[in-house]
Amino acid sequence: MAKMMWAGRFSSEADPKVNDFNSSIKFDARMYKQDITGSIAHATMLGDTGIIEKSESEKIVEGLKGILSDIESGELTFDPNAEDIHMFVEQVLTERLGDTGKRLHTARSRNDQVALDIRMYLRDEVKEIKELVVELIETIINIAEEHVYTVMPGYTHLQRAQPVTLAHHVMAYAQMLYRDLERLDDAAERMNYMPLGSGALASTTYPIDRKQVCGLLGFTDITYNSLDGVSDRDFCIEICSAISILMMHLSRFSEEIIQWCSWEFKFIELDDAFATGSSIMPQKKNPDITELIRGKTGRVYGDLMTLLTMMKGIPLAYNKDMQEDKEAIFDAVDTVKLCITTFIPMLSTMRVYKDNMRAAAAKGFINATDCADYLVKKGLPFRDAYKITGTLVALCIKKDTVLEKLELAEYRKFSDKFEEDIYEAISLDTCVMQRKADGGPAPEAVQVQIEKLKGRLREMLK
Ligand code: ARG
C-alpha cells in the first residue's frame, strides 16, 4: 500500500481497519468527473495568477485530462485503498507527473474541494432528475388528453364523492410534479455558489482568484464566508427534501394505481411487462413496481433524516461526520431516478377500463350534490335542499335504487320544485360538464389546465 499522505507527521501506519473505516472511495469515486473538472479550473487559476508556473499548470491540466479519459475508457481503475476520490486523483497525477503533480493542492484543502465536488455533482444530478420529471409530466398530459371525457368517481375519505374525469384526476399529479420541478430548480439555484478558496476553513494566504474559478465552473457567484463554504450541507438537505416530496407524490399516485388495478376497482390494467406474477397463486398479476415505489419512499425519507441528524450537532467547520452526506444523498438521487424511469413506461402502457370507471361513478350517489344544487337553482336555500336530498338518498338506499331511477312522484313528495328536468340535471354527464369553473373537471376546464401547464413547462425549459 502507498504511504499515507501525512506519513511525515505520523510515526506509525494506520491500522488497516481504520483505513477501511475512514475511506470513502467506495462511494465518492462516482464524483471523479466533477473532482477532475474542479481541479482543472483550480490548476488553471494557479497558473494564471502566477502562484505556480504557467508551464506546470498546463502540465497538470493535461495530466488531469489524461486521468479523466483513462478512467472513462476503463484503463485506470479506482484504488480501493485510496482514502477518497480526491486523494486518488492527486496520487495518480503525482505518479504520472512527479513533483509537478504535487503542486496541484497548493492553496486548496480537501474540505473546500469536497464542498465543490458535491455541489457540482448534485447540479448535474438535479438536471437529470428534472428531465425525468418533465418526461413524466408529458406522459401524464398524454393520458389526460386522451381521457378528458372519461368520467370516473372523485373520492374523499375513499368514499365516492363527486364525478370527475380521468384527465382531471391524473392532471392533479402533473400539477404536483410541476411544483417538484420548481423546488428542485430553486434548491439547485441556491446551491450554485462556488466554495473553493475557503481552504480548510480559513481561506488562504495565496493571492488566488476565486472569481475566475467560479466563472470557469459556471457558478452564480462565490461563497463569501470560508467557514460556511466548507461546513454547509444545507443544499444536500434541501435537494433531499425536494426529492422526498417528489417521492411522496409518486407514492400517492402508486397507491392509487395499486387500488385501481385491484379486482375491487378494475379501473386499469397494467401491461404484462410492468407487472409480476405469484410463485404460488396462478391467477395473480401484481403491481410490484408501484408497491416498490411506495416502499422506497420510506427509504428516501430515511436519507433525509440521516442528513438532518448528521448535521444537527457538528460545530464549525469541517468534521468527518460530513462524509456521511454522500451515501444518503446519492441514495436519494439514485432511488428517485430509478423510480421515475420505471414509472413512465408503466404509466404509458397501462390500459384504462373506461366503462368500469363510468359504472363506478354511476353508483354511490355521486350526483347528490347536483340534486341539492337543482333545488337551489329553483329557489330553495342550500341547507334545505341538502336536507331534502339526504332524505331522498336514504329512501333510495332503502329501496335499493339510485336517484336517477326514482319516480318523479316520489321526488315531489319531498318538494314540489322537482320537475321532469331533474333527470337531466343529475345525469352523470351533466354533473361533469357543469363543473366548468376554472380548475374544475369539465372537459373545457381541463383543456385550459393542460394548455396552461404546457405553457409553464415550455417557459421553465427555455
Ligand atoms: N472524504 C472526505 C469527505 O467526503 C473529504 C475529505 C476531507 N477530510 C478531512 N479529513 N479533512 O468529506
Give me the mean pLDDT over the 28-33 stretch: 98
Q: Is the shortest distance between the CB of 114 and ligand 1 below 6 Å?
A: yes
Best probe residue, ligand 1, of 32, 84, 230 (max atoms within 8 Å of C-beta): 84
> Which ligand 1 atom lies nearest to the CA of residue 84?
1
Cβ-proximal residues to 423 (8 Å cutoff; 6+ apart), any chain: 404
Does residue 84 have its Cβ closer than 6 Å to ligand 1?
A: yes
Q: Is there an atom of ligand 1 within 6 Å of 323 CB?
A: yes
N-to-C CA span, the chain: 51
Residue 21 has pLDDT above 70, yes or no: yes
The whole model's pTM is what? 0.93
360-460: CATH topology: Ribonucleotide Reductase Protein R1; domain 1 (1.10.40)
Q: How far is the CA of 187 from the centre of ligand 1 (A)?
A: 24
* CATH 1.10.3720.10 holds for 115-197+227-354: no
Q: What is the pLDDT at residue 7?
A: 79
Single-letter amino acid code for the residue at 384: D
Residue with CA closest to ligand 1 atom 6: 110
* Ligand 1: centre distance to CA 110 (Å): 6
Catalytic residue positions, numbered? 157, 278
Mutation probe of ligand 1 site: the residue of 89, 111, 119 with most atoms within 8 A of C-beta: 111
**Would you kindly state where each structural domain of the chain is located, as residue ranges?**
14-106, 115-197+227-354, 360-460
Mean residue pLDDT of the chain comes to: 95
pLDDT attached to residue 2: 56
Q: Whose CA is nearest to atom 3 of ligand 1?
A: 323
Q: Above 80 in pLDDT, residue 280?
A: no
Per-residue pLDDT at 276 = 80
| Distance separating alpha carbons of residues 262 and 257, to the nearest angstrom | 9
In short, whether 238's Cβ falls inside 6 Å of ligand 1 is no
pLDDT in tens, 117-171: 999 999 999 999 999 999 999 999 999 999 999 999 999 999 999 999 999 999 9
pLDDT in tens, 75-115: 999 999 999 999 999 999 999 999 999 999 999 999 999 99
- Taking the C-alpha atoms of residue 339 and residue 336, their distance in angstroms, rounded to an integer, is 5
Per residue in 398-407, pLDDT (tens digit) is 999 999 999 9
What's the pLDDT tens digit per position in 405-453?
Answer: 999 999 999 999 999 999 999 999 999 999 999 999 999 999 999 999 9
% of the chain exceeding 90 in pLDDT: 90
Could you tell me the distance, in angstroms and rounded to a whole number, from the CA of residue 302 to the centre of ligand 1? 23
Residue 356 predicted with pLDDT over 70: yes
Residue of 26, 105, 114, 310 best suited for mutating to test ligand 1, as the one with most atoms within 8 Å of CB: 114
- Say how many Å lie between the CA of residue 206 and the centre of ligand 1: 22
Q: Give the pLDDT score at 1.
A: 47
Angstrom distance (rounded) from CA 75 to CA 72: 8
Q: What is the pLDDT of residue 269?
A: 94
Q: What is the 3-state secondary structure (H, E, C) of the chain?
A: CCCCCCCCCCCCCCCHHHHHHHCCHHHHHHHHHHHHHHHHHHHHHHHHCCCCCHHHHHHHHHHHHHHHHHHHHCCCCCCCCCCCHHHHHHHHHHHHHCHHHHCCCCCCCHHHHHHHHHHHHHHHHHHHHHHHHHHHHHHHHHHHHHCCCCEEEEEECCEEEEEEEHHHHHHHHHHHHHHHHHHHHHHHHHHCEECCCCCCCCCCCCCCCHHHHHHHCCCCEECCCHHHHHHCCHHHHHHHHHHHHHHHHHHHHHHHHHHHCCCCCCCEECCHHHCECCCCCCCCCECHHHHHHHHHHHHHHHHHHHHHHHHCCCCCCCCHHHHHHHHHHHHHHHHHHHHHHHHHHHHHHCEECHHHHHHHHHCCCCCHHHHHHHHHHCCCCHHHHHHHHHHHHHHHHHHCCCHHHCCHHHHHHHCCCCCCCHHHHCCHHHHHHCCCCCCCCCHHHHHHHHHHHHHHHHHHHC
CATH 1.10.275.10 fits 14-106, yes or no: yes
**Buried-exposed string 166-190: b where 16+ CB fall within 10 A, e elsewhere:** bbbbbbbbbbbbbebbebbeebbee
| Per-residue pLDDT reduced to its tens digit, 214-258 | 999 999 999 999 999 999 999 999 999 999 999 999 999 999 999
At 3 the pLDDT is 67
What pLDDT sits at residue 33? 98
Q: Is 110 close to ligand 1, i.e. is its CB under 6 Å away?
A: yes
